[in-house]
């Protein structure tokens, strides 16, 4: 390399062909910290804010209903709009990460989020609030795939598990802090301050866009409009259908849910066929060839199962602690904070284990812990001490910490570097679908079991307990299936073959 030439200015493809790794030997250092490290740190900080925002508004829904004079069905769109926006945008992130530089993608993400936050500060009508949450959701949908792809492109293969573990500190703690922080804010301030206080942080992050590297992009990539159109009813339709199924459990399922499910299924099938056609003749919008990797496919299955259990428990525990144990929303939210913090602290250690011996030695014990805890939670009662609930949540968090980082690392390390953007987008999609499906399953079983108990003359609190027990029991059974799948995770040497080849 000629003296004085900045290797960061060279295209990634050129460095790969020359045998150099631009991501493991950075020459640019600022203040003793390598440029990739500073870049990842900034992306992590932005992700923390976006993850915090995802849950911070949940406790404000009753206040919003009163202030805007809307009913619960209308208020549900405050949360649903965020979720639907993510479902629509996530499939496009693979293309964005391929076609645009990381700096431009970051700017798009933060611009959407900042605009949505600004609109939220002035939301005096439901339409404005829905628009604000939709834009925030769209911006958040882009950030996680960008962060995951950046880690895979900038961190050496033997340190990626550790780095992904460090990221879990943020990704686990932020959503757990959201309800507690939101509850504290709305006790003394108007609910719009949930947007007002975040806006300056979002503006600062957007102003720091230049700190993100202008990575090389594939200028030949073309957007397939047909795929974009198909992805909207495919993914948003399925997410919305599963949400309606979950919320209507215990009552007749509305015809709209079946229509949404049918349309979503047809659109998804057509979308998959379209991607196969594009792969043969040009460039697919979402490259499904990532599923030819056995390790990636197994990891995706585990992501769906584990995300479903995590989201389901996250929904039912607050219902149990508030409606059965009589805890306030603020205390109920605080009860979940220790587990989230412990999950974040345990994740880096798990990442080091993954780097040394692979995912299976961490994932299998993690699933056993989760399954055993869910089974123990089928013994909850109306008089269970809150300390035991806290202990159960902490145990669940430890088990989940042993699962999330390894399966994400395994999925990404098992594919070619040219597919990192597509793979991170795919992982985002299955996380979203798995979480919504799990929520619908848990809430549906809870509602059905509670309604059945009530029909038998059981008191209201006891009927709720029966519903919680039934849902957690099904979760324990799901964990058995996840345990079987976990034993098919390839050994670390097999997972790293593709990575080393690149």
Which residues 6+ apart lie within 8 Å of 365 measured at CB? 399, 402
Q: Tell whether 117 and 204 lie within a shared domain.
A: yes
Regarding whether 385 and 328 lie in a shared domain, the answer is yes
Q: What is the tally of helices (H) and strands (E) in the chain? A: 20, 2
The CA-based angle 18-94-232, given to 5 degrees, is 165
Same domain, 305 and 441: yes
Residue 482 within any structural domain of the chain:
yes
Q: Are 438 and 307 in contact (CB under 8 A)?
A: yes
Pair (474, 428) in one structural domain: yes
- The pair of structure tokens assigned to 455 is 């029909």
CA distance 88 to 91: 7
Domain residue limits at 489: 289-502
Say whether both 365 and 443 belong to one domain. yes
Contact between 208 and 109 under an 8 Å Cβ cutoff? The reply is: no
**Residue that is last in its domain, among 155, 187, 213:** 213
Instruction: Please indicate, yes or no, if residue 219 is contained in any of the structural domains.
Output: no
Alpha helices in 122-196 (DSSP H): 126-154, 160-188, 193-196
Q: Are residues 458 and 352 in the same domain?
A: yes
What domain count does the chain have? 3
CA 29/CA 285 separation, integer angstroms: 36
Ordered mean pLDDT values, 10 residues apiece, the chain (502 residues): 40 38 40 59 83 78 82 72 84 83 89 94 90 92 85 76 70 72 82 90 88 67 83 85 68 78 91 88 82 89 87 82 81 81 81 82 92 93 91 90 85 81 83 81 83 84 89 91 90 51 47
Complete DSSP assignment for 195-219: HHTTHHHHHHHHHTGGGS------T
Residue 150 and residue 192 share a domain = yes
The answer to whether the predicted template modeling score (pTM) of the entire model surpasses 0.85 is: no
Residue 333 sits in the same domain as residue 239: no
User: 377-385 long-range CB contacts below 8 Å, 24 or more apart?
Assistant: 377/468, 377/469, 377/472, 378/469, 378/472, 378/473, 378/476, 379/469, 380/320, 380/465, 380/468, 380/469, 380/472, 381/465, 382/324, 382/325, 382/461, 382/462, 382/465, 384/325
What does residue 461 show for φ and ψ, rounded to 5 degrees?
-60, -45
Residue 324 placed within a domain: yes
* Three-state secondary structure call for residue 470: helix
């Amino acid at each position: 390399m000629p003296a004085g030439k900045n290797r960061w200015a060279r295209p990634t493809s050129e460095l790969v062909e020359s045998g150099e790794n631009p991501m493991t030997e950075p020459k640019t250092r600022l203040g003793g910290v390598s440029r990739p490290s500073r870049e990842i740190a900034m992306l992590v900080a932005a992700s923390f804010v976006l993850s915090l925002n995802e849950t911070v508004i949940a406790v404000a829904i009753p206040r919003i209903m009163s202030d805007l004079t809307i009913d619960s069905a209308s208020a549900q769109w405050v949360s649903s709009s965020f979720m639907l926006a993510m479902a629509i945008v996530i499939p496009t992130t693979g293309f964005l990460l391929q076609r645009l530089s990381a700096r431009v993608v970051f700017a798009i993400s933060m611009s959407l989020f900042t605009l949505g936050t600004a609109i939220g500060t002035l939301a005096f009508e439901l339409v404005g609030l829905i628009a604000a949450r939709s834009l925030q959701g769209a911006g958040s949908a882009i950030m996680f795939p960008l962060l995951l792809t950046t880690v895979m492109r900038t961190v050496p293969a033997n340190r990626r598990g550790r780095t992904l573990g460090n990221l879990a500190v943020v990704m686990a703690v932020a959503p757990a802090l959201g309800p507690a922080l939101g509850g504290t804010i709305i006790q003394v301030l108007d609910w719009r301050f949930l947007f007002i206080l975040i806006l300056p942080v979002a503006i600062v992050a957007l102003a720091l866009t230049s700190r993100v590297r202008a990575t090389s992009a594939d200028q030949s990539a073309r957007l397939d409009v047909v795929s974009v159109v198909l992805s909207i009813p495919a993914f948003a339709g399925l997410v919305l259908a599963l949400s309606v199924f979950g919320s209507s459990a215990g009552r007749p399922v509305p015809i709209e849910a079946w229509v949404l499910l049918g349309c979503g299924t047809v659109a998804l099938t057509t979308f998959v066929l379209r991607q196969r056609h594009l792969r043969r003749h040009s460039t697919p919008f979402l490259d499904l060839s990532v599923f030819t990797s056995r390790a990636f496919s197994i990891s995706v299955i585990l992501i769906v199962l584990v995300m479903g259990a995590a989201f389901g428990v996250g929904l039912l525990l607050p219902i149990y602690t508030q409606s059965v144990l009589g805890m306030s929303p603020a205390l109920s939210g605080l009860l979940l904070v220790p587990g989230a913090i412990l999950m974040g602290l345990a994740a880096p250690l798990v990442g080091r284990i993954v780097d040394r011996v692979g995912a299976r030695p961490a994932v299998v014990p993690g699933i056993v812990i989760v399954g055993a805890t869910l089974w123990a939670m089928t013994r909850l009662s109306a008089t269970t001490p809150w300390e035991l609930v806290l202990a159960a949540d902490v145990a669940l968090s430890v088990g989940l910490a042993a699962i999330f980082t390894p399966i994400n690392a395994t999925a990404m390390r098992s594919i070619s570097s040219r597919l990192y953007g597509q793979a991170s987008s795919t992982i985002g999609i299955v996380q979203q679908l798995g979480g919504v499906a799990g929520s619908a399953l848990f809430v549906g079983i809870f509602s059905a079991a509670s309604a059945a108990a009530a029909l038998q003359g059981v008191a209201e609190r006891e009927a709720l307990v029966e519903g919680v027990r039934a849902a957690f029991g099904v979760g324990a059974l799901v964990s058995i299936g996840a345990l079987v799948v976990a034993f098919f995770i390839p050994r670390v040497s097999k997972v790293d073959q593709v990575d080393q080849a690149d």
